[in-house]
Chain A
Amino acid sequence: MRLGNGIFLIGVLLITLLSSTLLLLLPEETEEDFMPIIKLAMGIWMIQSIFNIFGHSLS
């Protein structure tokens, strides 16, 4: 198990960088609306990675 050859970590890093850049560009008042979307994206990525690392796959 090498954390999916680093794909998991790279994904986490990319989501963080993209969303922090977006948070900088967006105006202050939309920040609260945007935060749940970031959390949702991170959650989807983590669950998908867990399935990838520990689950069966046909490919």
Chain B
Amino acid sequence: MISFIETILGTVLSSFVIVIISTFMALLVDFLFPSFSKWTRMILIFIVVIVVLQPAFEHLTLIRDIAHSISMMFISIYPILTASMIAAGGAFSMLNFQPAMLLFANGAIVLTERILIPLLTGALIFDLVSRILPAVPFTKMADLIRTTLLGAVSAVVAAYSIFITVGGTMSWALTGLASEPIKELIRQNVPLIGSFMTDSMGTIGRYSSGASVFAGGWLISAIWTVALIPSFKTLLTAFFYRWTAALIEPFANEDITGILDDIGRTLFVLCAVSFLIAFAFIYTALFSIILVKLITSMK
């Protein structure tokens, strides 16, 4: 776990150190040659864009690749799963596994790969453009794209929870008083997507607690960890952007902090999108595990 955090720190922090140093250098140049301030601003923006955009685009391609490979996995595993569901007969009906749910999860992944991630790239570029040339702003468009994406993702997760609880057989074991403070903490401290995160965690948890009778708690926590690592990584990087923006705000140009803040906000939305993928992965993995368990125990 420590080395995992270290690798994120290594890739992200080095580029942010470059940003901080170059901002300071620009400050010095501005002080020595005030007539060059227009050029300094532009060159500084270019340096920041080249250095800082790389981790953000890395995460975008990472999430897109994961979405692509998971949708491939769905396509290959779907016939086997449905066939064995028919073979198992009534054994699945008590577990509230609907085939429609599987299709729905796959649909969410395709939606992510085809529409959500290109739109997020668009939002990122619109933010950059409106910072480089403030006379031709695209801020409304970028904000609109972000809020629309967040709304769409929340709607899909709400539909998930309706799908799962419609049979009424599952209930989340952790809904007691113990988890409420943690939920409140996340909701307060993660900007933009805090309440969304607690809600979707509740949905996944409600689902996997029903399955833990069959699969065991440690196995489920292993699946959770594997599925949630990309989301966690994206969340941490987004926080790094905001922290750097907060750190250099007193002495940097307003454009630079604005760029960092905007990229951070876009990455928060990307984190919300990656929850969709995580959920689909958890669903498929648990489904396959329970299927194998049923087959091996009923022979």
**Closest A residue, CB atoms, query B119:** A3
Residues of A close to B136: CB separation below 8 A: 16, 19, 38-39, 42
Q: Quick one: given A13-B125, A16-B132, are A3 and B118 in contact (CB under 8 Å)?
A: yes
Interface residues on B, range: 10 to 19
Main secondary structure of the interface of A (DSSP, over half): helix
Interface size of A in residues (CB-CB distance below 8 Å): 17
In the assembled complex, A44 has its CB within 8 A of some CB on chain B: no
Residues of B close to A16: CB separation below 8 A: 129, 132-133, 136
Inter-chain contact B125/A12, CB cutoff 8 Å: yes
The smallest C-beta distance from A42 to any residue of chain B, in angstroms, reads 5
In the assembled complex, A9 has its CB within 8 A of some CB on chain B: yes
Q: How many A-B residue pairs have CB under 8 A?
A: 39
Q: Tell me which of A3, A9, A24 contacts B38 (CB under 8 A).
A: A24
In the assembled complex, A20 has its CB within 8 A of some CB on chain B: yes
Interface residues of B (CB under 8 A from A): 38-39, 42, 114-115, 118-119, 121-122, 125-126, 128-129, 132-133, 135-136, 138
**A–B pairs, 23, beta carbons within 8 Å:** A2-B114, A3-B119, A3-B122, A6-B121, A12-B125, A12-B126, A12-B138, A13-B125, A13-B128, A13-B129, A16-B129, A16-B133, A16-B136, A17-B132, A19-B133, A20-B42, A20-B133, A23-B133, A24-B38, A24-B42, A39-B135, A39-B136, A42-B136
